[in-house]
Amino acid sequence: MLLVGPEDDFNIKIARGLGLKLVPLERRIFPDGEICPRVREEVRGSDVVLSLRMKSGVGRPNDYLLEVLFTLRNLKRHMGAGDIVLIMPYFPYARQDAIFRIGEPLSPSYLAEMLEDAGASSIVSVTVHLHRLGSFSEIFKKIKATNLSGFKALSESIKRLPLQDPFIIGPDTESIHWARELAQFCGIGEYDAFRKERDIETGDIRTYIKEIDLKNRDVIVVDDMVSTGGTMANAVAAAKEMGARLVISAFVHPILVPGSVEKILGAGADIIIATDTIEWGGSKASVTGDIIDTLRGG
CB of 70 to ligand R5P, least distance (A): 27
Close Cβ partners of 10 (under 8 Å, ≥ 6 residues apart): 51, 53, 276, 279, 286, 288
Q: Is 275 in the site for ligand R5P (CB under 6 A)?
A: no
Q: In the chain, at which residue ranges do the beta strands (DSSP E only) sit?
A: 2-5, 21-29, 35-39, 48-51, 84-87, 122-126, 144-148, 167-170, 191-193, 195-198, 205-208, 218-226, 246-254, 271-274
Q: Is 229 in the site for ligand R5P (CB under 6 A)?
A: yes
- Tally of residues, the chain: 298
**Would you say 86 or 272 has its CB closer to ligand R5P?**
272
- Alpha-carbon radius of gyration of the chain: 20
When asked if residue 224 is in the footprint of ligand R5P (CB under 6 A), the reply is yes
Kindly state the number of chain residues that form the binding site for ligand R5P, as judged by CB under 6 A. 14
Q: CA-to-CA distance for 168 and 181, rounded, in angstroms?
A: 10
Instruction: Find the binding residues for ligand R5P in span 88-117 (CB under 6 A).
Output: 95
Which is nearer to ligand R5P, 39 or 261 (by Cβ)? Answer: 261
Residue 56 binds ligand R5P, judged by CB under 6 A: no
**179 scored as a contact of ligand R5P (CB under 6 A):** no
Of 182 and 232, nearer to ligand R5P (C-beta) is 232
Q: Contact region for ligand R5P (CB under 6 A) — 80-88, 117-125, 157-165, 227-235?
A: 227-235
- What phi and psi values does residue 94 have, to the nearest 5 degrees? -75, -20
Stretch that binds ligand R5P, among 96-104, 118-126, 209-217, 230-238 (CB under 6 A): 230-238
* Residue 295: CA count within 13 A, CB half-sphere: 28
Residue whose C-alpha is closest to residue 5's, from 52, 44, 40: 52
The stretch near ligand R5P (CB under 6 A) out of 26-34, 109-117, 220-228, 276-284 is 220-228
Contacts of 82 (CB under 8 A, 6+ apart): 45, 46, 47, 48
* Cα distance between residue 272 and residue 249, in whole Å: 5
Question: Does residue 223 belong to the site contacting ligand R5P (CB under 6 A)?
Answer: yes
152 is catalytic: no
Residue 231 binds ligand R5P (CB under 6 A): yes
- Which residue among 13, 21, 144, 196 is the active-site one? 196
Q: Are 71 and 34 in contact (CB under 8 A)?
A: no
CB of 240 to ligand R5P, least distance (A): 17
Q: Which is nearer to ligand R5P, 227 or 277 (CB)?
A: 227
- Contact residues: ligand R5P, CB under 6 A: 95, 129, 171, 174, 223-232
Q: Catalytic amino acids?
A: 196
